Amino acid sequence: MTIDELCINTIRFLAVDAVQQANSGHPGTPLGAAPMAYVLWDRFLRHNPSEPKWPDRDRFILSPGHASAMLYALLHLTGYDLSLDEIKRFRQWGSKTPGHPEFELTPGVETTTGPLGQGFANGVGMAIAERWLAQNYNRPGYEIINHHTYAMVSDGDIQEGIASEAASLAGTLRLGKIIYLYDDNDISIEGKTNIAFAENVAQRFQAYGWHVIGPIDGMDTSGVESAIRMAKEETIRPSLIICRTIIGYGSPNKAGTAAAHGEPLGEEEVRLTKERLGWPYKEPFTIPEEALAHFRQALERGRSWQERWQATMDEYRRAYPKEAKQLEIDLRGELPRRWDSNLASLFNTAHKPIATREASGQVMNAIVQRVHSFVGGSADLAPSTKTLLKDHGHYGFEEYSANNIHFGVREHAMGGIANGMSLHGGIIPYTGTFLIFYDYMRPPVRLAALMGIRVIFIFTHDSVGLGEDGPTHQPIEQLMGLRVVPNLVTIRPADATETVEAWKAALERAHGPTALVLSRQKLPVLDRTVLAAASGLQRGGYVLWEAKTPPDVILIGTGSEVHIALEAAKLLQDKGVGARVVSLPSWELFDEQPLAYREEVLPRNIRARVSIEAATPLGWERYVGLEGTAIGVPHFGASAPGKVIYEQFGLTAQHVADAALKLLHR
């Protein structure tokens, strides 16, 4: 057995043994794809296992996250802080080796993968970030940022729409430092891939503007090596190397079949596979010393790469102190001191009515003046979402230092790419689309929350108030759909002043994504000289106004409906009923407050509560309870001018006041 074969089999059987021990997992891909993964990690991947966060490392993504055992094997073998014990505890409670790779949990895992196609898009985002940083910071003689984005992708990834969207954009943007190895094993869970997938993948990727190599024999190390070399030589187009492999390679009874995919081989079959591949070790989890020594050379290589980089960086800091300082701030994900000092003066009471999407656009343009790394775009809706950063160029087309990205009509890829940008580091990304199209990008929003990364998802046209476009475009369940995602903070500001606060909260939330939910229609700017300060938003909810008499009833609203609640309170006042108006722009921030504060805002003894929100009322029982009334839209919308819809759907101050009176039996 050559050293290459020995190392490849070491990866294979660490993975196979881990799956067998867990009695759960996916042995098929590691057996087939170990050779290509080995060649990449052994001969190309510039990384430093002792410093997994070294900024100029190559990125590696395992898009078919179900092959996690293979990645854990590589991480352990090359010297990351992941012990063999952890591999033995594969898929067990509290281990660092979960069923699918998880960002931050395991050193060296660049992104959380498993839902297919996401890793593919993440890589495109990482490559965008790499090029943005390179273009902004590299100087002649100082290639501070210069690395590749590698991924392994599977048949499933290639079939998912998000991969199509991301590939088309990567081709358009000419991201030549993307190199993806496609593990083309002809097998999917229901059988041969051609039962559902007979397309010509090479031709399709050529059509996207990719440089396609192969199909090659993905299990021939020298073939894979020269293919990756060719891919590195191509600097304009992203590269896809089509690697034919055999799923479950070596397994006498399961190789080349779906049976090898998603369940342990079984002890007997493991034994037969080891025999077939000439693996002499009876003991599971055996790592031959020679193999380990070979793999662990990665530590020395990595240290030396990083040292050389550090030397260049030190020189760069002397030659370009301002740039170096800025780059370091960006890479740490910090906000500059007093980054928000120019926001306070944007809107005041005298301001004319303004849609929160429009206010948001103004805030964003103020932010980018201070926050250099603020980069993003919209899925072909920038004029409507107001997400354009003026005078900050258009990314791509020889202008890779620009802050505006045109994602095209590709919401799903936009989300996955923004996640990749955030994961790469050096950028604070945002995305923009209509709230209804959150439905097109649910998986990446969820993954951002799961990974705890900072991405700001802007959703405008937030209710039936958008008007004539009708029910296909009017969100009903999307707002509550954001609130139920763990670790996502959703903010629906009531006016321009709350929009400023919402942006502050979003940018300062470094370890999780934020969704900003904004109106299409104009809204008055709340008069803070008579109402509570907008900074109350930072606590999620606050008493905006109340009658002089002690409150008989609490009216709770969010976003555009806060104005209706205020008007209703005044109607009630005219009838001698004391109402309190609570603005509740963010449930998550409010629920995080100490009980005492929440009691202050919503005292438990006041059970006469009416909520109003132009969305599904389901969920509002959390604040109004079984005795209160939740006014909302428990059905689909309609096509008509927004104001007409509000009237017809009973989203009116009169309706709120009547509901309050009914609760009070008056």
Taking the complex as a whole, the smallest distance from the CB of residue 216 to a second copy amounts, in Å, to 19
Comparing CB distances to a second copy, the nearer of 274 and 357 is 357
Taking the complex as a whole, the smallest distance from the CB of residue 437 to a second copy amounts, in Å, to 7
Report the distance separating Cα 654 and Cα 651, nearest Å.
9
Comparing CB distances to a second copy, the nearer of 293 and 484 is 484
Provide Rg for the chain, Cα atoms: 28
Q: Strand pairing partners for 406?
A: 378
Taking the complex as a whole, the smallest distance from the CB of residue 506 to a second copy amounts, in Å, to 20
Taking the complex as a whole, the smallest distance from the CB of residue 103 to a second copy amounts, in Å, to 11
- Residues 54, 306: contact at Cβ < 8 Å? yes
Comparing CB distances to a second copy, the nearer of 201 and 224 is 201
Comparing CB distances to a second copy, the nearer of 373 and 616 is 616
In the block, which residue shows the tokens 């190789």? 255
Comparing CB distances to a second copy, the nearer of 208 and 545 is 208
Structure-block tokens of residue 564: 């209706």
Helices assigned H by DSSP within 61-200 = 68-78, 84-88, 118-137, 155-159, 161-173
Give the other-Cβ count within 10 Å of 337's Cβ. 8
Residue type at position 13 = F
Comparing CB distances to a second copy, the nearer of 3 and 196 is 196
Report the distance separating Cα 22 and Cα 143, nearest Å.
45
Residues 6+ apart with CB under 8 A from 69: 14, 15, 16, 18, 19, 25, 26, 27, 30, 87, 90, 97
H or E segment at 579? strand 579-583
Comparing CB distances to a second copy, the nearer of 190 and 283 is 190
Report the distance separating Cα 652 and Cα 666, nearest Å.
19
Structure-block tokens of residue 189: 């869970």
Residue type at position 448 = A
Taking the complex as a whole, the smallest distance from the CB of residue 382 to a second copy amounts, in Å, to 5
248 CB-side CA count, 13 A: 25
Burial letters 156-179, b for 16+ CB under 10 A, else e:
bbbbbebbbbbbbbbbebbbbbbb
Catalytic residue among 102, 160, 358, 411: 411
Structure-block tokens of residue 275: 């025999």
Active site residue 411: yes
Taking the complex as a whole, the smallest distance from the CB of residue 137 to a second copy amounts, in Å, to 25
Q: Strand pairing partners for 240?
A: 180, 212
Comparing CB distances to a second copy, the nearer of 44 and 438 is 438
Taking the complex as a whole, the smallest distance from the CB of residue 115 to a second copy amounts, in Å, to 6
Taking the complex as a whole, the smallest distance from the CB of residue 124 to a second copy amounts, in Å, to 13
Report the distance separating Cα 641 and Cα 469, nearest Å.
9
Q: Chain-centre distance of CA 369, in angstroms?
A: 25
- Residues 52, 96: contact at Cβ < 8 Å? no
H or E segment at 187? strand 187-188
Crossing angle of helices 118-137 and 442-451, rounded to 10°: 70
Taking the complex as a whole, the smallest distance from the CB of residue 628 to a second copy amounts, in Å, to 9
Comparing CB distances to a second copy, the nearer of 221 and 378 is 378
Comparing CB distances to a second copy, the nearer of 335 and 631 is 631
Nearest to 152 by CA among 178, 187, 180: 180
Kindly tell me the burial class for residue 627, based on how many C-beta atoms sit within 10 Å of its own C-beta (0-12, 13-18, 19 or more). exposed
Q: What is the SS3 assignment for 27?
A: coil
At residue 369, φ and ψ (nearest 5 deg) are -65, -25
Distances in Å between the Cα of 581 and the Cα atoms of 205, 346, 490, 542 are 56, 25, 20, 9
Taking the complex as a whole, the smallest distance from the CB of residue 316 to a second copy amounts, in Å, to 33
The catalytic residues are: 411
